Amino acid sequence: MSHQNPVFIPGPTNMPEALRKACDIPTVDHRSAAFGRMIRPALAGVRKVLGMGASGDVALIPGTGTGGWETALTNTLSPGDKVLAARFGMFSQRWIEMCRRFGLDVQVIETPWGEGMPTAAVEAALRADTGHKIRAVLATHNETATGVFSDIAGVRRAMDAAGHPAMLFVDGVSSIASMPFEMDAWGVDVAVAGSQKGFMLPTGLAIVGISDKARGMMEHATLPRSYFDLRDMLASNANGSFPYTPPVGLIAGLAASVAMLEDEGLEAVYARHARIAEGVRRAIAGWGLRPCAARPEFYSNTVTAIVVPAGCNGTDLVRLAAEKYGVAFGVGLGEVAGKVFRIGHLGMLSDVLMLSGIATAEMCMADLGWPVRLGSGVAAAQEFYRGNTGLAARAAA
């Protein structure tokens, strides 16, 4: 695959050259004041991206989003604790499987793939839990396998309406830093992100936001934890240090990443993602196809899963794009394997770059003999971008 071409997968995402250079630094003594000057702005910047005020904490865990999930569970829960989760995609399913491996009692709300977090069912389950046995609600903000967005503010309203004291854990790995996230306003107790998505960095950091309520649970939780023990991490971070050897280059890159996001302006970042995503959806309609997401309120602004025509296989398109054109798209996962292919549209992307991905997908469809007319999707996206590009709006102002 040519490294000159951008990738169109929902992570790892394309890296701006400035961030790649920011990670490329000489060896730094991680027990020196120099490291403290590096990690403090990274932590402060993440707080802004997460929508945190003065309360709560942020931790940077060497690992991936999966490590962030484990951090959330092991620092706040004990064996046998009950959690509530909905299964509506591969990543919500994997978090459920992790809970079971830790001996947690998982109450699963089975939800069709293509729909989001079922807030009414969450409220009903919590109302039925009169003994308050459920300790946490697990919500996937952006289900990467199906391109489905869930209303986390709505989940919090459902929890409050039920009058239930459970904590709210949110997987924001493919949403945070690309779509609005308001940890404080939504009453999120643990938020999980990853360096390789909206932060546009190499894989290797799980980014975890912790509320004061969740931090208060740490002294009572008895699930096994050592490497992921937030007590050690937060105590060290308070002194500008780390409890073990940190990935210094990634932390330097994170400080540069949050500065880049702030320079563009978070609202502008979110608007750019929404605009690019809508162009992709216009292209899909031009092809005569549809997103996997069942309704517009579920449409993700970071990834779209496209349902392929009857008799076609989405994996064939992904394989052909890589082999013939050197372009990466995402395959279908789990229950939608072969039934969809995925276009990631997050991180370092512009309207112009996205058009190249749309055009490549069209060429692959034509090569495979799918019933799609060349130019149909590209033209639909072009027409939308021409009238809605941020650069054009600023030039006309």
| Residue 321 within a domain | yes
Same domain, 245 and 382: no
Here the tokens at position 251 are 């932390």
Tell me what the mean pLDDT of segment 44-73 comes to. 96
Cα separation, 392 vs 367, in Å, equals 34
Same domain, 227 and 190: yes
**Nearest CA among 296, 306, 279 for reference residue 370:** 306
Q: Which domain holds residue 385?
A: 266-396
Assess whether 256 and 287 both reside in one domain: no
Could you tell me if residue 59 is inside a domain?
A: yes
Tokens 């947690």 found at? 104
Domain stop point among 243, 263, 283: 263
296 shares a domain with 230? no
ω into 180 cis (within 30 of 0)? no
Percent pLDDT > 70 in the chain is: 97
Domain CATH code at residue 274: 3.90.1150.10
Structural domain includes residue 199:
yes
For Cα atoms 344, 349, 355, give the angle at the middle one, nearest 5 degrees: 80
Confirm whether 90 is domain-assigned.
yes
In the structure, what pLDDT confidence band is assigned to residue 396 with cuts at 50, 70 and 90?
very low
Ramachandran area for residue 78 (φ above 0: left; ψ -120 to 50: alpha; else beta): beta
Q: Tokens for 281, please give them.
A: 């959806």
Say how far apart CA 222 and CA 75 lie, in whole Å.
8
Looking at the fold, whether 239 and 313 belong to one and the same domain comes out as no
Three-class secondary structure of residue 350 per DSSP: coil
Region for residue 155 given its phi and psi (left: phi exceeds 0; alpha: psi -120 to 50; beta: otherwise): alpha
Q: Do 385 and 303 fall into the same domain? A: yes
Residue 235: how many CB atoms within 10 A of its CB?
12
Where does the pLDDT of residue 377 fall: very low under 50, low under 70, confident under 90, or very high at 90 and above?
Answer: very high
Tally of CB atoms within 10 A around 220:
9
Q: What is the DSSP string of 161-208?
A: HHT---EEEEE-TTTBTTB---TTTTT-SEEEEETTTTT---S-EEEE
User: Does residue 1 lie in a domain region?
Assistant: no
Residue 9: inside a domain, yes or no?
no
Of 15, 16, 19, 14, the residue nearest 45 (C-alpha): 19
3 lies in some domain: no
Same domain, 147 and 293: no
Least confident stretch, 1-15, 96-110, 116-130, 382-396: 382-396
Quick one: pLDDT band at residue 394, thresholds 50, 70, 90?
Answer: very low
366 plus 380 within the same structural domain: yes
* Phi, psi dihedral angles at 308 (to 5 degrees): -85, 160
Same domain membership, residue 278 and residue 258: no
Inter-residue contact 301 to 274 (CB < 8 Å): yes
- 40: pLDDT strictly greater than 80: yes
**Average model confidence (pLDDT) for the chain?**
95
Instruction: Measure CA 75 to chain center.
Output: 21
Given 214, 244, 263, the domain boundary residue is 263
Label residue 397 by pLDDT band (50, 70, 90).
very low
Whether 131 and 158 have beta carbons less than 8 Å apart is answered as: no
Domain-located, residue 137: yes
What number of CA atoms fall less than 13 Å from residue 348's CA on the CB side?
A: 19
Same domain, 182 and 87: yes
pLDDT (0 to 100) of residue 368: 98
Sorting pLDDT into bands at 50, 70 and 90, what band is 4? confident
* Residue 29, C-beta contacts closer than 8 angstroms, at least 6 positions apart: 35
- Is the predicted pLDDT of residue 395 greater than 90, yes or no? no
**What's the pTM value of the predicted model, to 2 decimals?**
0.94
pLDDT at 329 over 50: yes
Task: Identify the CATH number of the domain in which residue 33 sits.
Answer: 3.40.640.10
Is the domain of 211 the same as that of 343? no
User: What is the C-alpha to C-alpha distance for residues 78 and 308, in angstroms, rounded to an integer?
Assistant: 43
Which pLDDT does position 393 carry in this prediction? 45
Distance CA 7, CA 357 (A): 8
* pLDDT band with cut points at 50, 70 and 90 for residue 392: very low
Cβ partners under 8 Å of residue 174, min gap 6: 10, 11, 142, 144, 197, 198, 300, 302, 303, 346
pLDDT, residue 345, reads: 98
pLDDT at 31: 87
Domain end call among 263, 296, 314: 263
Q: Render 304-332 in DSSP notation, one character per residue.
A: EEEEPPTT--HHHHHHHHHHHH---BEEP
pLDDT over 90 percentage in the chain: 93
> By the 8 A CB rule, do 277 and 345 touch?
yes
Q: What is the pLDDT of residues 128-169, one digit of tens each?
A: 999 999 999 999 999 999 999 999 999 999 999 999 999 999
- pLDDT per residue as tens digits for the range 187-245: 999 999 999 999 999 999 999 999 999 999 999 999 999 999 999 999 999 999 999 99
Q: Which residue type is seen at 75?
A: N
Structure tokens, 80: 């046998």
pLDDT band of 286, cuts 50, 70, 90: very high
Total domains in the chain come to 2
Q: Which residue has the higher pLDDT, 393 or 160?
A: 160
pLDDT above 80 for 256: yes
CB 114 within 8 A of CB 150: no
- What confidence tier does 389 reach under pLDDT thresholds 50, 70, 90? confident
- Together in a domain, 197 and 286: no
